[in-house]
Structure 1
């Protein structure tokens, strides 16, 4: 007689989670298991898993991987996390991993290291590879030269199809790592003169010269083209990438759409951190406590001083506030609502500055646009909050004080929020860094002053 099936949950063997599995692999020192684990890990999990390992365990896991897989792992981690890991590796081991990375990734990670650490790794690298990295590191990261890769295929215009095909076969292993869609044609002075689709090359007669097949005078970016211009171009053109040339029209690299988009996202992330008061760039919880604390306190300590200045307004009207204690309920509301309106204006101005839609010299145009908006929103919010005050206390004068203060403070906050980023930009300062604290202090001071001064003027009707 057949026995009834046992419940599935009694037969199932509990599988360890990825972190526990990785710890077991590191403890066993099994390279094959390490490669399999990395290959099967879901996208985006590698950074989280590595962050949970101790520094010693991270080193032991990296040691189990070959240089190519270690490089792929480094490229998948956030730059700061990968930089921390690389900085703790011996220079020789780090150099071997670097040799397997794309040129742009190499430069990005070197930016995370100290100058001494970078030089130690470069000294251990292949001299030609190290020289290329030093060349790329001279560029600003937010321009075409700083975003380009140098892994590309270029051939002289006098060469034939047969010459190119022979070279591709001879260097097949090297070129296999390149993401090749186009072949770039150069002249004797290494200047870009044309581009050739790989498909057209393979379909052409063997003896035909590249100069007879190429697309002459192709689009290219000067190496100093800023990120925003690159974004605008790729938004308008569905291209995989575009060649980059220096001031002498010499071909120096290729900038890819994916790298431009990634740089834009990274810039947006850093801007968000600065808005939130995180100084010093990207922060991960794997950073030393001292570093994280210093980065946050550098902004918070300044904010304390700014808030003391705003609170001094309240001290000036202490008697008025004690006479009408209901004002204490509305002071933070007026301040906060005005601050929110002003921060919206800051966000729009900062975004338009980034996109190149406005410049600091356009302040009058910006002021006119925001003034009208401030009047409409100020009246709407003032009527709403003033109505709440009237309904709560049954005093129309209290509603007039609160509503009028909020309306005027909103108008002021919107106009200042629109203009402060332009002013800071005009003085070569980062609008995202200082606009928020400045606006918060001003809206608090003006909001407190308007509420309490209006209340003092109407005090006989409020008591």
Structure 2
């Protein structure tokens, strides 16, 4: 989602001003938002539309996100509804919702009307209830009802990812009926995925899937009941993302019909929609693991909102880090006596943290795939301890040899090597078990697993190094 922009100064040999030149004649720039701002303020819808359509999808999103709210609303209002919808479609959902919220309900409804049904639901779901209802009231009744239904689903279930734009016919229809229907609704159906049609009884119950190629070499009088694939595979509208990922990994389908508990066809779920949600979930989990509350942050968001989201975790984390600092303060006499320990403190904490984060990643992955249950903490703990003992022993030996070479004291090597061994076991134990523990008590395991692990392994590492050094202080000085 080639940058076109107007040059700031005109060539003196050309009497035509830059602003009068066609959009296609303007020079390439890496600051497309400046030209977008100029065109929005000029109020020429034709030039604005030409400029936006000449940008790549990435540049469209970049340019719109850099404008202030007033100009962003001006751009969207100045474009044709279908061009504005395409522009909105290239933005992250939260940013798209904020852009729509700047418009009047009628202008917003005209743009939402041009969006695919799944994107409609996503955008409306990110608005306040009053804003969403005002836009829905301005939409056609059938479309508003469908949007409300889709918005009622969670984002991570089939109903929240499906589209309702599809070809739907009845078993009694003939090939001639289908062709006539397609010709009559060509303008509407042009935006649909028409590789498959779905055959339903008059009450809406799915009974078959019809590959459209099956219509090519058959008699016009043939009925769909004789051409369709009967008893097709389908997924429930409440099927969650993890199961949907498994489904598409097991079947080479580009899409699958979505039905409710009674078998009524509700929509079609495309493979790319599942892949998109899988990527989004992974990005959200990563941001949460780094202490970004809410799992999303864009620098176009309000300053105080971004600061508040970050501080909500940093303020807790600083208290935990005070504990780590307190360990060092408690053993400051030992540290002053054996200053070489300061060299190895960050090595112990960092290497243990890395081992623990590996354990977190495996637990998070197995939880997402349904390969482990929160009740299996002891099994997970023993599996991680087994790995931690081997890796801790190898890493501890390496850092011990480094300490001996660095200081020439075998007892220093013993202290740091043993500390790294024990701390690695502690780190993988925490990293493996904490996600399961948080899941068991209904918390998001991605929110605190990583930051909590880092702080605890720091505290424990410092305590082990300095505590062991205190016990062997006479051998170290």
Q: TM-score, normalised by structure 1?
A: 0.94
Match of 1:210 in 2: 224
1:281 & 1:121 partners in 2: Cα distance? 27
CA-based RMSD of the aligned residues comes to: 1.9
Confirm or deny that 1:84 pairs with 2:98. yes
**Correspondence for 1:274:** 288
Work out whether residues 291 and 448 of structure 2, in 8 Å CA contact, stay in contact via their aligned partners in 1.
Answer: no
Cα offset for 1:427?
1.4
Cα distance between partner residues in 1 of 2:325 and 2:307: 26
- From 213, 218, 223, the counterpart of 1:199: 213
> Structure 2: how far apart are the matches of 1:276 and 1:453?
30
SS in 1 for 2:57: coil
Match of residue 43 from structure 1: 57
How many pairs align? Answer: 455
Partner residue, 1:139: 153
SS of match in other structure, 2:154: coil
Instruction: Give the SS at the match of 1:84.
Output: helix
C-alpha displacement of 1:319: 2.5
Describe how 1:300-339 pairs up with structure 2 within 5 A: 300-339=314-353
Note the C-alpha offset of 1:16.
Answer: 5.2
Question: Residue 452 of structure 2 corresponds to which residue in structure 1?
Answer: 438
Helix, strand or coil: the match of 1:360?
coil
Q: For each residue in 1:190-215, what CA deviation from the matched residue of structure 2 results, as whole angstroms up to 9, or x when unmatched?
A: 11000111111243222222111111
What SS does the corresponding residue of 2:193 show, helix, strand or coil? Answer: coil
In 2, the alpha carbon distance for the partners of 1:11 and 1:378 equals 74
Tell me the distance in 2 between the aligned counterparts of 1:369 and 1:236: 29
Structure 2: how far apart are the matches of 1:67 and 1:180? Answer: 24
Shift of 1:293: 0.4
**Residue 61 (structure 2) pairs with residue 15 (structure 1):** no
Aligned counterpart, 2:181:
167
Measure, in 2, the Cα distance between the counterparts of 1:11 and 1:63: 37
- Within the candidate set 348, 363, 377, 1:363 is matched to 377
Q: Does 1:122 align with 2:139?
A: no
Equivalent-residue separation in structure 1 for 2:390 and 2:437 (angstroms) = 25
Which of 387, 410, 428 lines up with 1:373 in the alignment?
Answer: 387
CA distance in 2, matches of 1:224, 1:202: 35
> How big is the shift at 1:324?
1.9
| Alignment pair present for 1:66 and 2:80 | yes
Of residues 356-365 and 391-400 in structure 1, the stretch that sits farther from structure 2 once superposed is: 356-365
C-alpha separation in 1, matches of 2:125 and 2:399: 51
Shift of 1:462: 0.9
Residue deviations 1:314-364 (CA, integer Å, cap 9, x gap): 233233223222222322221121111101110111112112222223333
Offset from partner CA, 1:350-398 (integer Å, 9 cap, x none): 1121122222233333233322221121112112222222222211111
**1:75 maps onto 2:89 in alignment:** yes
Q: Name stretches of at least 5 consecutive residues in structure 2 with no aligned partner.
A: 1-10, 15-24
CA separation of 1:14 and 1:241: change in aligned 2, threshold 3 A: closer
Q: 2:413 aligns with which of 393, 399, 417?
A: 399
Once residues 34 and 328 of structure 2 are traced to their aligned partners in structure 1, the CA distance between those partners, rounded to angstroms, is 56
CA drift of 1:118 comes to 1.0
4+ residue runs of structure 1 moved beyond 4 angstroms?
9-14
Distance 2:327 2:41 in 1: 63
Whole-Å separation in 1 of the counterparts to 2:458 and 2:36: 52
Residue by residue, what CA displacement relative to the aligned partner does 1:256-314 show, whole Å, maximum 9, x if unpaired?
Answer: 01111111111111111111111123111111111010000001000011111222222
How far apart, in 1, do the equivalents of 2:248 and 2:475 lie? 63
Q: 1:99 corresponds to which residue?
A: 113
